[in-house]
Chains A and B, each alone.
Chain A
Amino acid sequence: MKSPRKAILGATTGLATLLSAQTLSAVEIEYWQYIFDTRVQAMDILIERFEEENPGITVNHSTFPLADYRTRLAAAIPAGQGPDVMQLFYGWLDSYVDEGLIQPLPADTFDPDMIGEEFFPMVGAMMRDGAYMALPTAVRSLALFYNTRLMEAAGLDSPPETLEEMIEMAREMTIRDGAGNFSQVGITSGMTAQDHHWFREVLTRQHGAEPYLDDYRTVNYATPEGIAAFEFYTGMETEELVTQSGFMDEPQAAFRAGRAGMHIDGSFRIGALEGTRGLEWGVAPLPLSADGVAANYGSYWVNAITQRAQDERKEAAVKFMEFIVSEEAMQLWLDVVGELPARPSVALTEDNLANPVYGPFIEGLEGAHTTLFVDETAQRQVLVDAVQRVLLQGMSPAESLTMAQEAEQAIIDRAQGN
C-alpha cells in the first residue's frame, strides 16, 4: 500500500514533468490565407481539431483581403516575417520556388509516389525535381449550369450531352427582337470569365488539338484542330447567333438574372447562385465532343511550407500540412466551403457523386488539366483579344488565333528568361 504522501509526491512530479514537456514542445506557427468567409470558417474548425490532437502546437490563423494578399506575402516573406504555412494559387508556385521562398515537402511524410496515387492527377503540376512543393486541400473544375425554367419553356427536358446538342438547345432558348437584339441568350460567352479555360483545355482537346507542348512551355493551339475549336467558339456568336459576348455585362450576371439558358463556370460559382430568388438551375458535366471526348480544367489553391519554418517549427508545420490535406480535412472543406476534395478517395464517394450539384464537377476532376500559367491575367488577355479581333474587326479566326499563339508564346518566353 502506498502512503498518501508518496502518492501526492508522485502525482506532483508527474504533473511537473508533463507541464515542462508541454512548455518544451510548445510551438507556435503562422498560417496565412486570403479572406473568403467559408474558407476562414473551415480553417478555424480544422485548426481547432488539429490543436486538440497536437496539444503542443498553436496555429495562428491570419487572413488578408484577396486584393492585397499577394503583395502582403511578397512584402512579408523576404523580410522573414511571413507565415510558416501559407495558401497560394497554384499559378504562383514558380515564382515562389524560383526565389527559394518555399521548401519542398519532406519525402518521408509526403512520399511522391503516394501522392501520385492518392491525389487527382492534376496535382502533379505541383511537383518540382521529383519532390512536391505544395498540396491542395480542395480543387475546382468546370461544369455546365443550366436554367431549368428556360429549358422547360423551350420544351427541353434534359441538359445537353454533346456540343452539338448544346448548340441546338441554345438556339431553342435564344430570344431576339425584330431588330436582332438579344433579350435572352441560349448560352453565355465571354473569354473574360471562365471561357478561356474552357477553350484552352477543353474545346481544343475535344477538337483533337494539343494546346501546349513541353510542359506548357510551347503554345500549340494554332493548329488546324485548334483553329477548328476557336471557330466553334466564335461561331456561337457569329454563325449560330445563340450568344453575345458581354451580354448583360458579365456572363454570370446574365445567368443569374435568368436571361441565359446555359452557362459554363467553375464550382466556386455555386455559392453565388444558391439562394438567388426566382432562379432555378441545375448542373451537368461539360458537353462531350461529337466523338465522345471529355476534358476539363482544374485549378486550386495550395498549401506550402515557407523557408521560415525551421527545426521544431518545421516539424509542427509538416504535421499541420499533413492534417490539412488529410481525407478528414477535405470532406470538411467540401461540407463547409463547397470546394471539391483533392483526393479521389474522398471526392468519388457514392454520396458525393450522386450530389446533383457537386456530382458533375467531381466527375470532371479525373480528366481535368491544369494549365501552368506564367501570368494568368496576361495569358487570359491574349485570348480575350483574339475573340475581340474576330468580333469587332472581322479578322478570320485562323489569323487571330495564330496571332494569339505568338503573343502567348512571347509571354511564356519572357517569364522563362527571367
Chain B
Amino acid sequence: MTARLFASALFAGLVAGLIAVLLQWSLMEKLILEGEEYETGNKTHFAGVLVINEAQEAANPAAATAPEATPADDGGEDESLFTRFSLAFFADFTSFVGWALLMVGGFAIAEKYGQRITRKDAILWGVAGFAAVHIMTGIGLAPELPGQPAAELELRQLWWVTTAVTAIVAFALFGYGRTPVYIAIGVALLLVPQLIGAPRLEGYSGMAPPELSGEYVARSYAVAFITWVSLGVVAGYFWNRLAGRNNTALPA
C-alpha cells in the first residue's frame, strides 16, 4: 500500500510538475520578469509610483540608481534564465508531488470506505483541488505579481492554509457525505474563513500596471486549473493501475 501511494503520487507529480513548468514558462515567466522590472524600479508606469521609487532608492540605492546592476541585466541573462527554469521545474515537481500525496492519501481513505476512484472521480478530485487551493483562497488573496505590497506574510499564510484545508474537508463532505448535515457542515466550513476575511492592506499601492496584474491573475488560474485536472487524472490512473500489484485488489 505504501508503495502504491508513493509511486502513484510520484508519477502524478512528475506529469503535473512538467505541465506546470511548461505552462509557467510559456505564460507566466515573462509577466513575472516584467513585474520585477517594476518591483526594482527599472520601469514605472504612472506618476504615483515616484513615491515608491524614492523609498526604493533609500532602501537599496544600487537598484534604484543603477538599473544595469540588477540581476535581469547583468549580462548573464541566459544562465540566470536557465537557473530559474531548472529551479521552477524542481519547485513545481516537488509541490505537485506534495499535492499528489495528499490526493492519493484521500483516494486511500475513500477506498477504505468502499469508494472506488473512477476516471470521472479523479477528474472531479482535480477540479476540487483546484477550487480548494486556488479559488477559495483566491477570494481573499489574489495571485500576486512580484513586488505587489500585501499584508504581513505569516498572517496571509495562516489564512491561506486555513482556507485551503477547510475547503478540502468541505468538498470531501460534499462528495462523500451522505446526509444533509454533512453538506451543511461543508457549507459552514467554506464560509467561516471568508467571513473572518483575509489579511489585507488598506488602500492600493501596487507598482505594476493593473493590466499586467490582471493578465497575470487570469493566467495563473488557467495554469493552476490545467495542472490540477491533469494531476487528478494521472493520480487516478496510476492509483488504479498499481492496485493490481498489491493484495488490495479493487472491487470490479
A binds B: no
B-binding residues in A (CB < 8 A): none
